[in-house]
Each structure stands twice: as C-alpha cells, then as structure tokens.
Amino acid sequence: MNLLKLLCKELNDLGVEAGLDEYGYVMGRIPSNVDADVPAVGFIAHVDTAPDASGENVKPQIIKNYDGSDIPLKGIPGLFLKPSEFPELLRHKGETIITTDGTTLLGADDKAGVAEIMDAVQYIVSHPEFKHGPIRIGFTPDEEIGRGVVKFDVQKFDAAYAYTMDGGEAGELEFENFNAASAKIHIQGSNVHPGTAKGKMRNAILIGQEFNSLLPVEQRPEYTEGYEGFFHLISFKGSVEEADFAYIIRDHSRELFEKKKVQMQQCADFINAKYGAGTATLVLKDQYYNMREQVEPHYQIVEIARKAIADAGLEPRVQPIRGGTDGANLSFRGLPCPNIFAGGLNFHGKMEWVPLESMQKASQVILNILSLFAAKRESCK
C-alpha cells in the first residue's frame, strides 16, 4: 500500500487524474488530445513481488557496460550470475545490467513494468505534442497469488483494450497463457509408537510421497517447455499423523488441463481405496484460464503491439506465457489484455536481473502503441 500511495501521488504530481481505492488499486486517466474517436487503451502492472524469495531490503547492483563476465552477487560470498548458466546474459553485453546482491529477489517482476509505465506517462505529460487517444493506467496488488484483479473495477477503468507490462525478455509478446488450478491434498495418517506400530501405523508423510509418485514424472516443470503443461509440488508440511501437500496444475490446452485435474482426483481415489476412506482429501480450485479465446476475436490489438515492438527496433516474438498475468482474468471479464515484455529475467529468485535498455525499450513500446491507435483512427476520419 505504501508503494501504491506513492505511485498515486506521483501521478497526481504529474497532473494525471488518479486515485487509490480501498482494495489497493491505483487507476489513472489521461484524456485524448486528438480529434478522432480513439478507443481508450490501458497499461497495467502489479506492485507485489513473488513470495518465493524475500523482497525486503533489496540492494540492487548496477553493472554499467556489462563485459560478459561472471557477475558476483556480493551479498553472498562465492555466489555469481554466470553466462555459463544463464547464456542470455551475453545478449546484453555493453548494456547496463541490474541484479540482486544474492540475498533477495530484485522485484523486476513487476516493478520493472511499473517503472516503464511511469516513464511513459512522464514523457506524455511533458510532451503535449505527442498525439494519443484516451489513456488508462492501472497498478494492482496480489498478482503473484492469483488475486490481482479480484476487486478490479473494469467498468471504472473504462478501457476498450489494455496491455499488462509483465513479460520477460525484450521483444516478447503474449496473448495466450496457462489454464491454472491449485490443488491441496491433506493426508490423514495414524501415529502409533514405533515399537508397536506393525499393522497399525499409517505414516502420512510416506502416503503423501506415494501420492506424489502416482503423478507423471515427465510432467514436472523441470522437464517441460513451450506448450507442455505440468504438475508442480510447491510445498509440503507434515508429520506421521497428518501431512499437507500443495500443487499447482498448468496446461495451455483446456482439454489437457481438465484431464490433469481428473488425474489428480484419481490419485486421491487410489490412496483412499488402498488406505481407507478419508485418508486423502483433495481440494481443487481453478485460478485462471487461457486468455487466447478472449483476445483472439480482437487480434488487431496483438498486431498493433507487434508493430510497436518492431518500431522500437526489436524482433517481436509472439509466444505462450508459461505462467499467468492479471491480463488473463481481465480478458475473461471483458477487457482484452495481451502481455508485453517488462525486460526482466530469472523472475522469482535471487538470480533475477534486468537490463536498463530493455526497460527503456518497453517504455518506447507503450508510446508506440498509443501512437498507432491514434494514427489508425486519424487516418479513418
């Protein structure tokens, strides 16, 4: 909330009409300055960071004119960001690289997106000659736990289309993402003194491990890519008496996604048949769906973004998101919302980094999109 309050104040100080609501959403609007009926276009980023690593007291390192060598993450002796492990670093030789110090994540997911939007806004308000239609700005909380737009008022935002600035490396453009669900499994065991446990003890930890072994090994994240989905065990807590396992389930295909949920239920049924009813309790919850079916009928917004990226001097790379964005849920709520690169890499961990030049390109893409929307309508007058 402190960051959201700051962003709202910065927008107001720039002369932008903006407000922060009770749920933690900042919404701003810049009126059109062209004499044409241009649709309102929004740009959205989230301010929360992933819970996978600490985001507190971040101490970024700024490496200017990166020479392609290993980068020491000085907060932890002996820890390096190495091109041998992350060869994409070499694509950014000569650029300014921002990294963590190895003790926290960086937070470029998605504070890079926040910075890029604010940079574009600053340019727009200081260059009244820049032609654009109505602009909408949105900053959201809670994206990383899948609740980023639960209270987002689409009608109040009042945009025809929007783009999330929440992707990876420069040039990426995405309009399809995983279908996503969470799965929580509670295993109820039976604890008996190990000296007299024969035929009586049911070790919940081991039963949970057996449950996990029933899922296909090749469908774990570390063995998948592209359009391939997965089952991902994200946490475990347990004792002999009871244990809890948490998974996320992902697939781009809605059909395969539904089959994965059925497979999870079949594993729970097997455990209950073997060890007794009530041993395994499964709770499945859908989180979001593939935005493609909602965005594709408005494919012109993808084409405009593709041209905007090319006009920024980058090679557009349209690809599926192996994850999700606020835009997925917004698309299903009537606001078609593809995703554009924010420039960062190695999100959700201490090896996170972002090139300054990629962030500058992302900001330019925002301006290019607005120019293309305005020019398209001006030419139709």
DSSP single-letter state for residue 139: E
Are the beta carbons of 339 and 178 closer than 8 angstroms? no
Are the beta carbons of 229 and 219 closer than 8 angstroms? yes
DSSP single-letter state for residue 175: S
Q: Which residues contact 310 (CB under 8 A, 6 or more apart)?
A: 316
Classify the C-alpha dihedral 264-266-269-273 as positive or negative: negative
Which among 48, 172, 176, 352 is annotated as catalytic? 48
Rounded distance, CA 371 to CA 156, Å? 24
48 is catalytic: yes
Q: Give me the residues paired with residue 353 across strands.
A: 99, 345
Rounded distance, CA 65 to CA 95, Å? 5
Rounded distance, CA 85 to CA 248, Å? 26
Which among 143, 166, 169, 352 is annotated as catalytic? 143
Are the beta carbons of 101 and 61 closer than 8 angstroms? yes
Question: Using alpha carbons only, what angle is made at residue 268 by residues 267 and 271, rounded to the nearest 5 degrees?
Answer: 90
Phi, psi of 230 (to 5 degrees): -160, 160
166 is catalytic: no
Side-chain-side CA neighbours of 79 within 13 Å: the count stands at 14
Residue among 381, 337, 1 nearest 177 (CA): 337
317: its two tokens: 């790379």
Rounded distance, CA 381 to CA 370, Å? 17
Give the number of residues written for the chain: 381
For the annotated catalytic residues, the residue numbers are 48, 143
